[in-house]
Amino acid sequence: MLGFILRRLLNYSVMLFAATTLAYFLASSFLNPRSNYLQMRPQPPEASIDLSLDLANVNDKVPVVERYFVWLERVVLHWDWGVSPQGEPVNAAVAYRALVSARLVLVATLLAVVIGVSIGVAAAIRQYRMFDRVSNVISVFFLVCPTFVLALLLVLGGIQFNDWVGSRWFYVTGLGEGGFVDYLQHIALPTLTLTLVGYVGYHLTQRSYLLDTINADYVRTARAKGLPKNLAIRRHALRTSLIPTAMGVVWSLTSVITGSVFVETIFAIDGAGKYFIDALTKNDINGSVAIAAMGGFATCAGLLLADVVVALLDPRIRVS
């Protein structure tokens, strides 16, 4: 198992390095930090603009390959992701906003996985019964409902609920800084939004995967030996059907770092998703690459975790 993990870790490290390098060259090609200064009125002197761009290592007068190796050396040797064209350190900005997004998204992701898988399993066991039909209708509604529409509906619902009870139970902006209860009041609606959006995929896919394995030969053999249906499903069919679900969880881990742009924007949460959009808007090459790299790191970490989980769920992978 250790050799398996080390090989995977090496592969993902190479992939992450290649993806981050590509992100740097793409950002350098499409973003133009100089335009930030050219739009100022009065316009700063060109020498002043060049000095500011040189300090951020984003001066387009310097060859991009030369800038890349300067940037790479700072990242590898000092873990310094540079500064924005305005001089804001990227390390501090990304670290703070990634923590904000993690606080928001991690809870919602865990809830979505638990709720979605549980409903999917229950619906598969009760195929075409009332629970299955009702849960499918509800999930399809949340599937077709855009995230920003659902977020706005919950904002309006939270405001109406506050007016109805005559006190403020839910806040619709920020994450709060006034203690645990205040934090719960702020995070409730954005967490509910992400949970409702996220659980649908786990419900529908887990239901399909489990239905595919319920009638497998090894499940029928277990039932023929006298094992009750529910127990045979939990011990044999469920374990196999969780393998593709575990891979699905991987792709949601990226949002733990990069956040959710729509939710963070609507609820005025200064997270990594909103920062990424702001970085692109402000032609911040270093900030954009840092967020892309952090998202890639989260994805690779999720892939490695999924490999371990799949190996534990499927003994054939360990043998191979």
Domain of 147: which CATH number? 1.10.3720.10
In this prediction, residue 140 has a pLDDT band, given cuts at 50, 70 and 90, of very high
pLDDT at 316 > cutoff 80: no
Nearest in space to 23 (alpha carbons), one of 290, 230, 229: 290
What is the b/e burial string over 235-262, where b = at least 16 CB atoms within 10 angstroms of the residue's CB? ebbbebbbbebbbbbbebbbbbbbbbbb
**Angle at CA of residue 312, ends 247 and 316, nearest 5°:** 95
What is the model's pLDDT at position 257? 62
The answer to whether residue 84 is domain-embedded is no
The total number of structural domains that make up the chain = 1
What is the model's pLDDT at position 73? 94
Q: What is the mean predicted confidence (pLDDT) over 232-243?
A: 74
What is the model's pLDDT at position 260? 76
In this prediction, residue 299 has a pLDDT band, given cuts at 50, 70 and 90, of confident
Residue with more model confidence, 82 or 243: 82
In this prediction, residue 127 has a pLDDT band, given cuts at 50, 70 and 90, of confident
The answer to whether residue 6 is domain-embedded is no
Residue with more model confidence, 309 or 69: 69
Domain extent for 231: 97-319
The answer to whether residue 27 is domain-embedded is no
Helix axes 238-258, 180-214, angle to 10 degrees: 140
Q: Answer for the pair 310, 8: CB distance below 8 angstroms, yes or no.
A: no
Percent of the chain with pLDDT over 90: 34
pTM, full prediction: 0.79
The answer to whether residue 175 is domain-embedded is yes
CA 97, chain centre distance (Å): 13
The answer to whether residue 33 is domain-embedded is no
In this prediction, residue 250 has a pLDDT band, given cuts at 50, 70 and 90, of low
In this prediction, residue 107 has a pLDDT band, given cuts at 50, 70 and 90, of confident
What is the rounded CA–CA span in Å between residue 186 and residue 173?
Answer: 7
pLDDT at 16 > cutoff 70: yes
The answer to whether residue 163 is domain-embedded is yes
The answer to whether residue 306 is domain-embedded is yes
What is the rounded CA–CA span in Å between residue 72 and residue 89?
Answer: 16
In this prediction, residue 15 has a pLDDT band, given cuts at 50, 70 and 90, of very high
What is the rounded CA–CA span in Å between residue 123 and residue 251?
Answer: 24
What is the rounded CA–CA span in Å between residue 173 and residue 161?
Answer: 16
What is the model's pLDDT at position 54? 92
The answer to whether residue 122 is domain-embedded is yes
Residues whose CB falls within 8 Å of the CB of residue 233, separated by 6 or more in sequence, listed in order: 121, 125, 210, 214, 219
